[in-house]
Amino acid sequence: MTTALLSSLKVTVRPADGSSNPLIQRREKLLTKLGQQKILATALIENEVHTFYREKWVKDEETGEKEKVQVPKKVSPWFYKRNNRYYFEVRSGNKPLELQKGMHAIEVGEEEDLVSTIDTIIEAVVAGELDHLLTKGDKPGTKKDKTNGKK
């Protein structure tokens, strides 16, 4: 048996699967949500309405078979207008992240700057600048452990 064909390929170790890392999962989820916010901001700037959809299995009344249909999904914007200025909150688990001590919102200014602000936040998430906020609840002693204190 000859290995001339196989020797022309680059063989390597199987890369680690990042899906088991909770930090990577939280980062990916936040990036997905930020992508949705970017779409909402673009729709606001262009005076359009955007509807997000999710897939759901529904049983057909006549045939009794299940089929997958798309149903509207409510996505609330993370930006709001106060005193003629726009503000943006980065949210995780439906709570705003504290970006600096006591500060949860980013002052955007005009609505045209929303998309560029969201792009900057996306770059920060990819660079890992928000990792300490995404893992905040993972520190020892912050979660109630049922076995804690029991012998």
Is it the case that residue 143 has pLDDT exceeding 60? Answer: no
Tens digits of per-residue pLDDT, 32-78?
999 999 999 999 999 999 999 999 999 988 888 999 999 999 999 99
The pLDDT score that the predictor gives to residue 44 is 92
pTM of the entire structure?
Answer: 0.72
3-state secondary structure of 136: helix
3-state secondary structure of 104: coil
Q: Does residue 105 lie within any of the structural domains?
A: yes
Q: Does residue 65 lie within any of the structural domains?
A: no
Is it the case that residue 2 has pLDDT exceeding 60? Answer: no
Q: Does residue 58 lie within any of the structural domains?
A: no
Structural domain that includes position 93: 76-136
- Cα separation, 45 vs 145, in Å, equals 47
Q: Does residue 125 lie within any of the structural domains?
A: yes
